[in-house]
Chains A and B, each alone.
Chain A
């Protein structure tokens, strides 16, 4: 905790110890608190889950060592593959839509001349509504009884949440509505790191709007795009609230996290639950490593090319 004091406002800086710190020592000092917090809060539960996944349980009581049997059970469970299918479809579709819409919002906000402040506040509205409430709201609006969306669209008795494909579409739509602003905010932060002169000189060189976007914005926005995609993807793979509240997992909308919750809360078998979490974790981590290596590379490049 004592290290946090060192980020206090500049005026007192001169009197602080650490004036003569080397870069390497400073780096260690700066990274230590984050590593400590992550280790203290998260490492223990993850270790706990890994151990749990190797044990066999009868309901909530341990009754022995299971080896990899829990993993075998999970991998041979059709419910797992169904959840994988939904989670994959949900992730790809919702992240793609959120990225495109979020980027459009971010560009719009970055170039807005009028109502900029209002737009920036308004765009946060979907995102600040608690997910549990947003899920209930959309479920209520889409539900055939009383049928707000149906009466709005002039559909009589269309059962959005009660038919196979449409249930998935509805859940994805709610997620895109809710999280596109998050992507927009991340991308907006990235857009602001692009110096205006670059656009000016591109304009001087006769580049059109599309060319400026293609050759100035996109390459320089790459790190921010990677961060936005990374965090949207790892969140989407772990999606829980929206499908849980909106469909309860009916009509092929059960996600991996919902299945994990089933084995932890509804039909408790901690061994299976932990094995399933570990598999989900491995998946998410695989996606994460791909992104991080990209981000790390672009960071190093970004720092050295200028």
Chain B
């Protein structure tokens, strides 16, 4: 008897499910002419966040050609894959594509985006050169910068008098700290952030990956070995915090904010979180400075951020072009970005700012360098992670790692 009841209950539950699932609720709106879709990832694409505010601003002024934000995942790989699936199928769902600074070459090679050389005139004078460089590939402009980003050194003003100018000074200061504290943390986990952190060191020591048009490899094995050995030693001797090799941006912030380390490499984004945390020992005792270099030379930071490109399959390319230029050059848009813990690409935003942090970051950006946006960037970055990361962690000889990387880089040019 029990079984019969059970069976009936199960059937009833199933019937309910059918009723519920019979049709997928319809939502969303069909594209009308003139409407454009902006597919961009990250925290600032959440409802009500910076990208929404920018879209609202545009829609007020252009009610006939409104823009809708399609929020892609925060993870760069996943955001790129969602764009790739649509573009690979020749889909016209996305008009404006938010590109991470290292994707340009790959998108060009896949014929996914349109060339934008005719927009140069409006941009060259107004927009920072670094982001413009990251939007270019083989001599042409393929995207328009939206926001930029750069690595900086956070330090505890209550523990050191001034920011260390080079790594030797930083590790010296670290050794004088209280035993309960470590010196430095950065992004040392095995992911794109590791590549960025290591490249900053390598650039600071005078190294380069390629020449200007990426036709020739300039990789220097000696410099790479030196830099890698430095990190390996610093990890061993405690200058770098024990959690360095598993830290991404968030773990770095947690370590710094809870007072475990005196120095941190991070983007400017977390600054506001640290400054607002009244319980943190770093609260009111934090300043940012340019990254340290080697032998008294200043450090070189890497550029991050988003550029807007236009889909080759967009049915509204003219509107899309107007939108991306407007987003790069409208002071109000750039102000929204500055207020949302990221950095404007408009030069005048730095000159006219009365925020000392923004002015300071403007100076860092003068010397900051983009990663080469070659089509094979991800392959290169993975190779750096599979050679240099083990070397830093004592599982591979630094010179052997550098030599293997050099060989790989030569292969990317020979193609």
Residues of A within 8 A of B (CB): 8-9, 59-61, 79, 143-146, 157, 159, 161-162, 164, 247-251, 262, 265-268
Query: Which residues of chain B from 189 to 215 have any CB-CB distance to chain A below 8 Å in the complex?
Result: 189-191
Q: Sorted from nearest, which 7 A-B pairs have the closest CB atoms?
A: A250-B190, A144-B243, A162-B246, A162-B245, A145-B255, A157-B242, A145-B254
Interfacial chain A residues near B77, Cβ < 8 Å: 265-266
Beta-carbon contact of B378 and A144 below 8 Å: no
Q: Report Cα–Cα, A162/B243, bound state, in Å.
A: 7
Interfacial chain B residues near A266, Cβ < 8 Å: 77, 378, 382
In the complex, besides A61-B110, A247-B246, A267-B378, 20 extra interface pairs with C-beta distance below 8 angstroms are: A59-B109, A143-B243, A144-B243, A144-B246, A145-B243, A145-B260, A157-B242, A159-B242, A162-B242, A162-B244, A162-B393, A164-B395, A247-B190, A250-B189, A250-B246, A250-B389, A251-B393, A262-B382, A266-B77, A266-B378
Residue of A nearest to B182 (CB): A157
- B84 an interface residue at 8 Å Cβ cutoff? yes
Interfacial chain A residues near B191, Cβ < 8 Å: 248
Beta-carbon contact of B7 and A9 below 8 Å: yes
Beta-carbon contact of A143 and B106 below 8 Å: no
- B247 an interface residue at 8 Å Cβ cutoff? yes
- Given A60-B84, A248-B190, are A79 and B246 also a contact pair (CB < 8 Å)? no
Q: Report Cα–Cα, A265/B78, bound state, in Å.
A: 8
Residue of A nearest to B190 (CB): A250
- B379 an interface residue at 8 Å Cβ cutoff? yes
How near does chain B come to A143, taking the closest CB pair, in angstroms?
A: 6
- B270 an interface residue at 8 Å Cβ cutoff? no
User: Which residue from B78, B81, B110, B242 sits with its C-beta under 8 Å from A144?
Assistant: B242
Q: Report Cα–Cα, A303/B195, bound state, in Å.
A: 60
Interfacial chain B residues near A61, Cβ < 8 Å: 110
Residue of A nearest to B247 (CB): A145
- B297 an interface residue at 8 Å Cβ cutoff? no
Contact with A along B378-392 (1 / 0, CB 8 A): 110010001001000
Interfacial chain B residues near A79, Cβ < 8 Å: 386
Residue of A nearest to B253 (CB): A145
Beta-carbon contact of A143 and B395 below 8 Å: no
How near does chain B come to A217, taking the closest CB pair, in angstroms?
A: 25
- B375 an interface residue at 8 Å Cβ cutoff? yes
Beta-carbon contact of B190 and A146 below 8 Å: no
User: Can you spell out 8 A-B residue pairs with CB atoms less than 8 angstroms apart?
Assistant: A59-B106, A162-B243, A248-B191, A250-B189, A250-B246, A262-B382, A266-B382, A267-B379
Interfacial chain A residues near B138, Cβ < 8 Å: none
- B258 an interface residue at 8 Å Cβ cutoff? yes
- B285 an interface residue at 8 Å Cβ cutoff? no
- B251 an interface residue at 8 Å Cβ cutoff? yes
Interfacial chain B residues near A162, Cβ < 8 Å: 242-246, 393
Beta-carbon contact of B245 and A159 below 8 Å: yes
User: Which residue from A59, A161, A164 sits with its C-beta under 8 Å from B375?
Assistant: A59
Interfacial chain A residues near B348, Cβ < 8 Å: none
Q: Report Cα–Cα, A251/B393, bound state, in Å.
A: 9
Beta-carbon contact of A161 and B109 below 8 Å: no
Q: Report Cα–Cα, A143/B246, bound state, in Å.
A: 8
- B88 an interface residue at 8 Å Cβ cutoff? yes
Q: Report Cα–Cα, A79/B385, bound state, in Å.
A: 12
How near does chain A come to B291, taking the closest CB pair, in angstroms?
A: 21
Q: Report Cα–Cα, A159/B247, bound state, in Å.
A: 11
- B11 an interface residue at 8 Å Cβ cutoff? yes
Interfacial chain B residues near A164, Cβ < 8 Å: 395
Interfacial chain B residues near A59, Cβ < 8 Å: 106, 109-110, 375
Interfacial chain B residues near A60, Cβ < 8 Å: 84, 88, 110
- B413 an interface residue at 8 Å Cβ cutoff? no
Interfacial chain A residues near B110, Cβ < 8 Å: 59-61
How near does chain B come to A78, taking the closest CB pair, in angstroms?
A: 9
Beta-carbon contact of A9 and B11 below 8 Å: yes
Interfacial chain B residues near A8, Cβ < 8 Å: 11
- B13 an interface residue at 8 Å Cβ cutoff? no
Residue of A nearest to B389 (CB): A250
Residue of A nearest to B382 (CB): A267
Interfacial chain A residues near B378, Cβ < 8 Å: 266-267
Residue of A nearest to B394 (CB): A164
Q: Report Cα–Cα, A162/B110, bound state, in Å.
A: 37
- B8 an interface residue at 8 Å Cβ cutoff? yes
- Interface centre among B78, B106, B245, by most chain A C-beta atoms within 10 angstroms, is B245
Interfacial chain B residues near A157, Cβ < 8 Å: 242-243
Beta-carbon contact of B8 and A9 below 8 Å: yes
How near does chain A come to B162, taking the closest CB pair, in angstroms?
A: 26
Beta-carbon contact of A249 and B190 below 8 Å: yes
Query: Which residues of chain B from 98 to 116 have any CB-CB distance to chain A below 8 Å in the complex?
Result: 106, 109-110
How near does chain B come to A108, taking the closest CB pair, in angstroms?
A: 24
How near does chain B come to A198, taking the closest CB pair, in angstroms?
A: 22
Q: Report Cα–Cα, A249/B382, bound state, in Å.
A: 11
How near does chain A come to B100, taking the closest CB pair, in angstroms?
A: 13
Residue of A nearest to B250 (CB): A145
Interfacial chain B residues near A262, Cβ < 8 Å: 382
Residue of B nearest to A147 (CB): B243
Q: Report Cα–Cα, A229/B46, bound state, in Å.
A: 43
Residue of A nearest to B243 (CB): A144
User: Which residue from A9, A146, A248, A267 sits with its C-beta under 8 Å from B189?
Assistant: A248
Q: Report Cα–Cα, A266/B383, bound state, in Å.
A: 12
Q: Report Cα–Cα, A262/B245, bound state, in Å.
A: 21
